[in-house]
Amino acid sequence: MNAIATRRLGYDVAVVGGGPGGATTAAFLARSGFSVVLYERELFPRFHIGESLLPAMLPLLDRLGVHETVAERGFQVKYGAMFSDQEMNLEQTYYFLRDRAWPNYSYQVPRADFDQILLEHARKSGVDVRQPATVDQVSFDADGVVVSGTEDERAFTTRAAFLVDASGRDGFVTARRGRRDRVPNLGKVALFAHFRGAHRLSGIDEGNIRIHVFEDGWFWWIPLSGDLTSIGCVLHARTVRQHAEAIEDLLQTMIGRCRRVAAGLQSAERVTPVRTAANFAYVNRPVIGDRFLAVGDAVAFVDPIFSGGVFIAMKSGELAAEAIGAALRDGRFEKRRFRRYERHVWRGVTPFFRFIHKYYEPAFLELFLKPSNRLGMFESVLMVLSGGAFDGLTWPRRLALEVLFTSARINVWRRRRAGQAVESRLEW
């Protein structure tokens, strides 16, 4: 069956979810001439967490044809990331490298605005965006998929040749016919809010994301435009359970315990409610199937420390659109056709996972905060943290990362001999 024939069934593709993953997949497919319907249960603009973006996303915005619109919006530009550790009293700023396949900067975005731009772009690209529309059920048969739900409080049923699960952490398909594996020890809770009047650095440092590790967990500090700053505290679920106080008070208590955050917020005022996210570390199955695949957070999410989520969602969306486009052109939708897509997504995501686990080990963090460029180690770290792993890491880069991980193992031994802490802080 070709793409024209599938149109008789309704749409070529139905997408569940209009976040960055869904909007990107849908827009790429529509721009290739396929008919796409996208269901988003919320009216935009809506709040979403995940405000710090990676440089590798910028060429993707170009390919999607939306970069100019994003650039014109006046989002805070970021050139790097500052990491500090209160216990070790170490601090290091990483600046994104020049002369890569992407620029040496990215943006810090209120997601309400950013996601609305992407979804509007999908609509302009020809996607039939249904909003607010919640998908409740899907059922597959030999010729396609039947999608049903509620749109504006009225029931709907649609047919499509293919289904994309871009439902984010809900994991629409996984929740109904799959399995979610929680990542051991990453049972974290994040408390976050926006502040006005927080301390700003000047020059190219103004937009840097700052990550402050302290004894109870870690803070993100994301400067947004218009004198807003997003502050979030990531704690182990156990720590949150041990505190009986309200979340507003708990966030205030933690701010008081992290010296840099407390100092930077001295004259700031909280301008949004304190929100929370919990249990955000998991891997979902299945990622692919006959006439189905998942993108973005519907595949997996581990930890926000390196700000990879939105890029991973959009990159997997781009890869998904390529795989689905080829399937639609051939009129064949068996699961095995999408294995290459799945492998590609894991290739991009796995280095983030590895770094995140390592980041919680003091012996690794110490090296990370005192970087050496032996064998290009420093550049290789930046390559991964800019989002470069999707394009494949060269052997010298992989070797440099292995040297870094081996050095961290040696540092465990050295720290132990010096009587310093070596236990992973995953348990915080």
Ligand X SMILES: Cc1cc2nc3c(=O)[nH]c(=O)nc-3n(C[C@H](O)[C@H](O)[C@H](O)COP(=O)(O)OP(=O)(O)OC[C@H]3O[C@@H](n4cnc5c(N)ncnc54)[C@H](O)[C@@H]3O)c2cc1C
Applying CB under 6 A, the residues found at the interface with ligand X are 16-22, 39-42, 48-53, 134-135, 166-170, 172, 190, 232, 277, 280, 296-298, 301, 304, 307-311, 313
Shortest distance, CB of residue 366 to ligand X, whole angstroms? Answer: 24
Contact 64, 28 (CB under 8 A): yes
Where do we find the tokens 């997997």?
316
| Residue 52 per-residue DSSP state | B
Tokens of 400: 């440099």
Shortest distance, CB of residue 42 to ligand X, whole angstroms? Answer: 5
Paired residues of 301 in beta bridges: 282
Shortest distance, CB of residue 44 to ligand X, whole angstroms? Answer: 8
- CB of 264 or CB of 296, closer to ligand X: 296
Give, rounded to a whole angstrom, the gap between the first and last alpha carbons of the chain.
53
Tokens of 223: 């400067």
- CB of 210 or CB of 425, closer to ligand X: 210
Give the distance, in angstroms, between the CA of residue 398 and the centroid of all CA atoms in the same chain.
23
- CB of 212 or CB of 400, closer to ligand X: 212
Shortest distance, CB of residue 41 to ligand X, whole angstroms? Answer: 4
- Which residue, among 163, 166, 125, 161, has the nearest Cα to 330 in the 3D structure? 161
Helix (H) or strand (E) holding 121: helix 111-124
Task: Give the whole-angstrom CA distance, residue 91 versus residue 170.
Answer: 36
- CB of 220 or CB of 368, closer to ligand X: 220
- Which residue, among 372, 402, 397, 375, has the nearest Cα to 386 in the 3D structure? 397
Shortest distance, CB of residue 79 to ligand X, whole angstroms? Answer: 16
- CB of 308 or CB of 362, closer to ligand X: 308
Shortest distance, CB of residue 426 to ligand X, whole angstroms? Answer: 16
- CB of 201 or CB of 412, closer to ligand X: 201
Q: Tell me how many degrees the CA angle 344-167-275 measures, rounded to the nearest 5.
A: 115
